[in-house]
Structure 1
């Protein structure tokens, strides 16, 4: 079954969006309806090839242009967070792996677009926009997830080169990426100094050492650096300021995680509504029972509240705010937690069909769970929000 195309898109009329965004929302919805069939889930064995194919298709269709600035093949002059959110919401509603492919092109190119030299932008961003190169973002380590400052991967200078040693894990696109934006401790620049660099997949001393299979398949693994040498020009931003690059990038893209959750929640509600209208229970449609209506109402309420928070955060960033740490954290926290509940409610309404392998709702149940973890867990988002509130009161 392809993505239903007939439902109205009332949120496109919200004042957070302008005509360019509305056109993107309508056109991408039409493209996804025609191009992304989801009757067959992506398997573990071919997920890397499937992801690369989706990157190429998104590039050929022009959608990856939303992930880079206009100067290097993009649609908007600068990264437009509302457009990124619309893209992720629409793609996640259709096919989570397509959303993943799009999101990683943005996240893997974001540090270069936001903080990189003009030479780095010219070298990497056009290929990302065209879907000719697969990007990756390497921040997490085995003992440095939520606490990124605990990372142990190091970078040192050696003549005209930079040398990396260490290991990163839980890295999306590990093994299929053409380049990785890597973050490392930089002792030469200070005790709490960090670096951000671009590492090509063929760099000497770089290897992919482990593949990680997860509940909702996507390419994930561990990468290792053993005396990995890269040119000094591969540095992103200033020496010792790599953490600023990481956090500044996440500040832009965190709202889009909420948008992906929103897309999954919308699809779950669509499936639940279709079932409630047609399933006969004790002589009448399931949707005629008040318990069902109450559940559907709560699902719709959670979705609209999430959408308002997501597009509030995106609009705030796009209209000039340098940082949207509080708004983005709120959007991600509420939207991902709400989506989990909405999908679970859809499973409950569908009964046995909701847990049948291969069904849309069963797939959503597996796919939505990771969104409460990556790019900052729900617990971390609560700490971020509280920290911003307390800071404002000082």
Structure 2
């Protein structure tokens, strides 16, 4: 059993501890079992089962307010049990997050109940073939037509749940201003004429991913999320909520890897005693334990700040995402190393964890982008401190 002492930290409340027990009980009984078989079908089954159990109420809240600490607890817990279970939960939230935060009441009422029930999958369509981390470079266009509809043309790629989602939050250039200030967000149902799946993408840790093509896709103005030209704001506000939860998923993977490492080191005999007795093994375990604890502190600090009403937590969320994902890779690598030859056998738990963790350092802002965000925030803090310094 992974360490649960973090639930007693002051970042969390009694309701979060109750939530953690609820998610843990469901995950222990269902996550691994429902993750087996065809990937698309497994994601559908996991999403449906979580909806039936009421777990998606935190990812798709009726209140319109996302509790980031609850999202982090769920992702950490689910990732410890199954990467695909974590994926399914995360996409229920990220795919509908822009609607939850910026959709008008009619749009929320029309589309969110099915997502909350787990019967409708959602996706977040931001990245393009030539525009991933650089959102200002998006080239997909949305043109307002005379009847009040918008016509969307272009393509999106690396879209999680692509090909199986019922709705897509799509970001397109509408031209109100140059760069990031000229984007608008829309909710696009999967069955809309002109929206096609150009390609399904196979990755090292299987997840539903696809490239989407938009050719004359028409959506009513009522499907707009936020005002025209506010697409960048919509995207960043959504990512501000969910970026720390990527760190939480990495934390869950790292906790699992640490448990596997300790168990292997304790049970494996080497040179007449347990592998654990080797000082280098103890050093590796100690480093992994420190990686896990520091990740947890950064993740739950960022989540607490957001839930406490901080207007923007980009710096803190980036710190949490950067450290937790990089640390999880180190912990997973040590786990493989301690397992020796078994650790590189296809589908061995250590090998699967290594593949699961790797993608987290890339999606929702690669580690290099997180470093840029953090560095710019530090410069801004220094400049603000200089402006506020009393004149001698």
Q: TM-score, normalised by structure 1?
A: 0.94
Aligned 1:1-394 pairs, distance under 5 A: 6-37=1-32, 42=36, 46-71=38-63, 78-158=65-145, 159-187=147-175, 189-192=176-179, 193-394=182-383
User: d(CA) in 2 for partners of 1:172 and 1:150?
Assistant: 20
**Partner of 1:79: helix, strand, or coil?**
coil
Displacement of 1:42 after TM fit?
5.0
**Partner of 2:311: helix, strand, or coil?**
coil
Displacement of 1:8 after TM fit?
4.5
Displacement of 1:132 after TM fit?
1.2
Displacement of 1:191 after TM fit?
3.2
How many residue pairs get matched? Answer: 380
User: d(CA) in 2 for partners of 1:191 and 1:283?
Assistant: 69
User: Which whole-Å deviations, capped at 9, do the CAs of 1:260-298 have from their partners, x for residues lacking one?
Assistant: 000000000011111111111111111111111111000
- The answer to whether the 8 A contact 1:170-1:220 is kept is yes
Q: Structure 1 residues 176 and 160 mapped into 2: Cα distance closer, same or farther (>3 Å)?
A: same
Displacement of 1:7 after TM fit?
4.5
User: d(CA) in 1 for partners of 2:341 and 2:35?
Assistant: 19
- The answer to whether the 8 A contact 1:265-1:339 is kept is yes
Measured on the aligned residues, the alpha-carbon RMSD in Å equals 1.3
User: d(CA) in 2 for partners of 1:289 and 1:239?
Assistant: 62
Instruction: Give the gaps of 5 or more residues in structure 1.
Output: 1-5, 72-76
- The answer to whether the 8 A contact 2:163-2:210 is kept is yes
User: d(CA) in 2 for partners of 1:157 and 1:52?
Assistant: 34
- The answer to whether the 8 A contact 2:319-2:374 is kept is yes
Instruction: Give the gaps of 5 or more residues in structure 2.
Output: 384-392
User: d(CA) in 2 for partners of 1:243 and 1:283?
Assistant: 61
User: d(CA) in 1 for partners of 2:32 and 2:83?
Assistant: 11
Give the ranges of 4+ consecutive aligned residues of structure 1 lying more than 3 Å apart after TM superposition.
40-43
User: d(CA) in 2 for partners of 1:319 and 1:118?
Assistant: 24
User: d(CA) in 1 for partners of 2:177 and 2:310?
Assistant: 30
Q: TM-score, normalised by structure 2?
A: 0.95
- The answer to whether the 8 A contact 1:89-1:263 is kept is yes
User: d(CA) in 2 for partners of 1:380 and 1:190?
Assistant: 24
User: d(CA) in 2 for partners of 1:389 and 1:65?
Assistant: 36
- The answer to whether the 8 A contact 2:94-2:123 is kept is yes
